[in-house]
Amino acid sequence: MSDDAELVRKSIQGDRLAAGAIYDRFSPLVRAIAWDATSRPQEVDELVQEIFLRVLTHLGQLRQGEALAGWIVQVARRQVVDFARHRGKRQLRERPLAEEPADSMPANPCDDRDRVRSAVAQLDENERLAVHLYYLAEQPAEVARQALGLSSSGFYKLIERARAQLCRLLASQESSS
């Protein structure tokens, strides 16, 4: 992750290519965190936009560019918590004026991907992040150290537990369907 610091430095100077590289490197992970909060693709896109806009406009506050990955994860988790809270309030206040367009409806619940999404969402918060990192991060143990304060062995124990739990949840879904 040595070049993360360089990307941060250049982005702070307004380099669009560097900012784009940060987006390219971390958008799958951020998107996975966003999928934890909603099953609506449109809301996922909105969340991803909010998270990256916040990340990119606040890079100046990041003292150690090498810690970029962990910091992005923390920002994303915080935004997701806020999103879930605000959505709860919105749903209480607002009633739809018209039927929602198809692309904002939850994806087909029978889709394998949504079964996985639903199972992942049932994991404990740290287990969930560990699974995302395992499948998406370039250096999952390092990001886990930054974001969760875990040692490498601690991370691998967590991921082992999380994957076993994910397996149980998917098996349970399979048997109930």
Residues that bind another protein (CB under 8 A): 12, 14, 16, 19-20, 23-24, 27-29, 31-32, 35, 41, 44-46, 48-50, 52-54, 56-64, 66-67, 71, 74-75, 78, 81-82, 85, 112-113, 115-117, 120, 132, 135-136, 145, 149, 151, 160, 163-164, 166-168, 170-171
Structure tokens at 162: 């999380």
Q: Which is nearer to another protein, 99 or 174 (CB)?
A: 174
Q: Where are the alpha helices (DSSP H) in the chain?
A: 2-12, 16-37, 41-57, 68-93, 112-121, 125-136, 140-148, 152-176
Q: Which is nearer to another protein, 6 or 160 (CB)?
A: 160
Minimal distance, residue 99 CB to another protein, in Å: 20
Burial class from Cβ neighbours inside 10 Å (0-12, 13-18, 19+) for residue 74 reads: middle
Minimal distance, residue 29 CB to another protein, in Å: 8
Angle at 24 between CA 19 and CA 28, to 5 degrees: 130
Q: Which is nearer to another protein, 113 or 157 (CB)?
A: 113
Residues in the chain: 177
> How far apart (Å, rounded) are the C-alpha atoms in residues 144 and 100?
38
Minimal distance, residue 176 CB to another protein, in Å: 15
